[in-house]
Every structure is written in structure tokens, then in C-alpha cells.
Amino acid sequence: MAKKLAVIGAGLMGSGIAQVSAQAGWDVVLRDVTDEALRRGTDGIRASYDKFVSKGKLAAEDAEAALGRITATTDLDAAFDADIVVEAVFERIDVKQEIFRTLDGLVKDEAVLASNTSAIPITKIAAVTERPERVVGTHFFSPVPMMQLCELVRGYKTSDETLAAAREFAEGVGKTCIVVNRDVAGFVTTRLISALVVEAAKLHESGVATAEDIDIACKLGFGHAMGPLATADLTGVDILLHATENIYTESQDEKFAPPEGMRRMVDAGDIGRKSGQGFYRY
């Protein structure tokens, strides 16, 4: 019998996780709070499958079969028999904790409860359940069908068995995993990009090099697909500033202290592509 996955939240990440999982043969319950959000999520999945089909990367009948394995619902109780639940709702600790509290009383004892949080400590989410050893971070990247990485995050009490189950799931849907052995702010990926962006912003601010040259250095010198300042503009300078401040607050490590100029950019509304101006003009 196919294994059952419940995905909580049908937004950008939740729908992507549902999509790759259904394609890999999982029976998926996709839950959101409104029919409108579910429709947006499932429309996005259908459109993405269509694109893979038109490029010859997925057979039309496999796309249809995968869609048939996804059940969209506003009823959280539908997750009751899931083997794994992946939560991908808004990045708010109160919302996530409420969901984990409810899931803990709902799903079977051996089920794994995973969160796709990009910054909230897994330990804080796990602590509201009676099974913190069964709670783990599965940090997928956007767009989920395209991005290869899944960052697996151990909370303070996550068991080896839970980590292994999360790895089996993520690898089964085509991802390559890295393991974050300690539940530190920013995990591995956000810590790395934050340190790089902070140093790039400092070099830029102090006039050591232009934004273009800093990005060219990373692309041609290190083979990065995109330079750190272009990445900051794409992600949102405000988002990266917030992530970096959070890591700095938790770690008290000076290398994550954002330069003042980056704060002023955000104060002034120059937050990157979405505002038309960041380290570059768009």
C-alpha cells in the first residue's frame, strides 16, 4: 500500500512538496484553511506538471496519476493516518505550534512530524508535542520541483530513527539531503548565505568594490551561479536582513552583524527586485 503524506499549507512550498511527493508515488493529503488557497495550490501543481509534460520530462498519464493521488481538503482530521506530516504554513511560531499540538493528538504514534520552517528552531516546535523525538526539520528550497536540496534539521530531541525516516522520504522524492546536527539559528544554508551577504554588503558599503565586481568575484572565482548581492536582491534585502539579525541575536557572533548601510537600505525601501532597487536597479 502506498505510504501516506499529509502536507499542511498549500502555498508555494506546501504545494511544491505535495507535487514532488505525489509524483514519487505517495498518497498526499494537502490541507489549507480555505478552498481558495487549495485551488491556488492545486492549480499551481497542475500547471507545473503540464510544463514537465510539454518538455517531455513527464508522461501525461503519470502526471494524471500523480494528480489523482492528491486529495485537497480544509479538514485537518484527514491527516489522521499519515505516515509523515510536513507542515509548510506561514513562518509564525504560534501558528506552527498550534498545528503541531493538534497533530500530536491526531496522528498515529509512529508518524513523523516535519516542519519546512526556514528559521524557527525545530526544538521550539517539537516542545509543544508529547513526541519531540518524532519531530524534525525538512527544509526544502523554492521552487521545490527544481531545487535539489533538502536540509534535514535535528531538534534537541529528534531521534536517529526520525532523521532516517525524514531522509528516506526526502531522498525518495528526489532530493539530496544534508543534515544539520544541532538546531542552530539559520541552520547551515541561511548561516552560509548570511555570512556571505554581510561581508559582501560591508565590502560594498566601504567602497572596496562595486556590487557588480563583488558578484563577479563569486561567480567566476568560486563558480557560484549568482553573486551574493544579486541573491540578496532576489530574496529581498529585508528578508535577508531579518534572517541575519536573528542569527546574530542567537549566536552573538559578530560575523552575522549586518552593516548599518544595509539597515538603512531597508529603512529607505530599497529591498531588491520587488521594489525596483536594491544593490542593483531593476
Ligand X SMILES: NC(=O)c1ccc[n+]([C@@H]2O[C@H](COP(=O)([O-])OP(=O)(O)OC[C@H]3O[C@@H](n4cnc5c(N)ncnc54)[C@H](O)[C@@H]3O)[C@@H](O)[C@H]2O)c1
Q: Which of 33, 192, 208, 220 binds ligand X (CB under 6 A)?
A: 33
Comparing CB distances to ligand X, the nearer of 8 and 203 is 8
Which residues are within 8 A (CB) of 246 and not within 5 positions of it... i.e. 6 or more apart? 119, 185, 186
164 binds ligand X (CB under 6 A): no
Residues 3-22 that bind ligand X (CB under 6 A): 8-14
Residues 115-154 that bind ligand X (CB under 6 A): 116-118, 139, 141-142
Shortest CB 169 distance to ligand X, Å: 16
Residues 88-107 that bind ligand X (CB under 6 A): 88-91, 95, 99
Shortest CB 205 distance to ligand X, Å: 26
Comparing CB distances to ligand X, the nearer of 54 and 142 is 142
Q: Closest CB to ligand X belongs to which residue?
A: 11
Shortest CB 76 distance to ligand X, Å: 7
Q: Which residues bind ligand X (CB under 6 A)?
A: 8-14, 31-33, 37, 88-91, 95, 99, 116-118, 139, 141-142
